[in-house]
Chains A and B, each alone.
Chain A
Amino acid sequence: MGSETCTEERLADLMRAALSGDDAAYTAFLRCAADLVRRMARRRVGEGSTILPEDIVQETLLAVHLKRHTWRAKEPILPWLMSIARYKIVDAFRRRGQRVYVSVDDLAEVLAAPVKEGEVDDARQIERAVAGLSHGQQRVVRAIAIEGRSIPETANALQMKETAVRVAFHRGLATIAARIGRQT
């Protein structure tokens, strides 16, 4: 869906229809909202953060769903939507113990073309999955899969037996595969 269709008027019309029981309009509203929030989240969550912009999108959509009775039909809907997204971004950073300043002039930038859900997240997702492994598995997986060392080299560097390295590597990969598979 192109951004030119996700205007203030269209969003407000869709939400009004949704609130009077039109499920299709509600789905269309959520799609529009997802595009706009994704764009804002991509801008706000810089490279190198373990926060996935798509997580922000989903948390915001869920919040929008649970709190849609806090939009008043007389009021503009974009500022409402964006302040929910901003709250969720700040919340995501705070839960990771980081502080972030999210400026209030996000409206202009979301009106440019939205971005689709996609590959940009993959590298972060893998990094996050690796970070979720046990310490021993993490060292082995990093050495082999990221630094490109061989199994004997790794065993030597980490002072482990080769069989132990092999086992840790395979378990680590299986854990990562399971984790990423579950999320997508």
Chain B
Amino acid sequence: MKTDDLIAKLGADNSRRSWSPAATLLIAVAVSAIVAGSMLMLTIGVRPDIGAALTTWRFDFKFVVTLTVVASAYSLLHRALFPRSGTHFPLWLLLAGPTLLLAGIGVELIGMPEAGWAMAAIGKNAVFCLTVIPALGIVPLGLLVWALRQGAPTRPTLGGFCAGILAGGIAATFYAANCTDDSPLFVATWYPIGVVVLGAVGAVLGRYAARW
């Protein structure tokens, strides 16, 4: 086909238009939170002593960390939707959550006798934690990769990875309301595994499904 003919055809199709991909992403995040929240409530629920737990810094700190992961992954995924000049992609933003967590570990280690460290890190729910985070995150991951597809990601693998980390952050936030292991040592040992697994799945999905 001649390029001029293509231009004429496309020009005649000007009326068909889509939403801003940023709006699509927001909707995908909202639906993801609803899905992950409902799945949690319909299956394992929140821990019975959540009222008392909310008054402890360790419990609340879990949400500070997971929501930081959510915020940083969201900003990167938003960025990945739009073609832009340059190859700069501030992936280091994803270190915000882990950095906070390291600070939390510092506080924990100062306040806790050395004999308790290993037990706090291993906890009682390790296997459960490793299962629940990917399980809660898999539907959000699908939604977020779909949202990524609606944009024009020039780096689909990286975009998919951010979608996976965001899905993992959302899943971890809800799982944290169920989990009775609150020590930053436990969070740092087990939570990242599930989140990174989702990130890896997201990278593969993005690579193949978010191409355009």
**Could you list which residues of chain A lie within 8 angstroms of chain B, going by C-beta atoms?**
18-19, 21-24, 26-27, 30-31, 34, 54, 57-58, 61-63, 65-70, 72, 75, 79-80, 82-84, 86-87, 91, 104, 107, 117, 183-184
The CA-CA distance from A104 to B17 in the complex, in Å, is 29
A65 lies within 8 A of B3 (CB): no
Q: Is the interface of A mostly helix, strand, loop or mixed?
A: helix
The CA-CA distance from A63 to B59 in the complex, in Å, is 47
B10 lies within 8 A of A83 (CB): no
The CA-CA distance from A143 to B79 in the complex, in Å, is 54
B95 vs chain A, min Cβ distance (A): 25
Which residue of chain B has its CB nearest to the CB of A83?
B83
Q: Known A-B contacts: A61-B3, A75-B84. Give 17 more (CB < 8 A).
A: A23-B14, A27-B7, A27-B11, A54-B3, A63-B152, A63-B212, A67-B152, A69-B17, A69-B19, A70-B82, A72-B20, A72-B82, A79-B84, A79-B86, A80-B82, A83-B83, A117-B3
The answer, among B4, B11, B84, B85, for a CB contact under 8 Å with A23, is B11
The CA-CA distance from A72 to B81 in the complex, in Å, is 11
**Could you list which residues of chain B lie within 8 angstroms of chain A, going by C-beta atoms?**
1-4, 6-8, 10-15, 17-21, 81-87, 151-152, 154, 211-212
A21 lies within 8 A of B15 (CB): yes
A104 lies within 8 A of B87 (CB): yes
The answer, among B3, B20, B154, B212, for a CB contact under 8 Å with A69, is B20
Which residue of chain B has its CB nearest to the CB of A29?
B11
The answer, among B1, B12, B154, for a CB contact under 8 Å with A58, is B1
The answer, among A22, A58, A82, for a CB contact under 8 Å with B85, is A82
B7 lies within 8 A of A34 (CB): yes
26 contacts between A and B (CB under 8 A): A18-B14, A19-B17, A21-B14, A23-B11, A27-B8, A30-B7, A30-B11, A31-B7, A54-B3, A58-B3, A62-B6, A62-B10, A66-B212, A67-B151, A67-B152, A70-B81, A70-B83, A80-B83, A83-B84, A83-B154, A84-B154, A87-B154, A104-B85, A104-B87, A117-B2, A183-B1
Contacts of A68 in B (CB 8 A): 17
Which residue of chain A has its CB nearest to the CB of B154?
A87
The CA-CA distance from A27 to B13 in the complex, in Å, is 10
The CA-CA distance from A96 to B85 in the complex, in Å, is 25
The CA-CA distance from A79 to B152 in the complex, in Å, is 14
The answer, among B6, B81, B86, for a CB contact under 8 Å with A61, is B6
The CA-CA distance from A73 to B197 in the complex, in Å, is 37
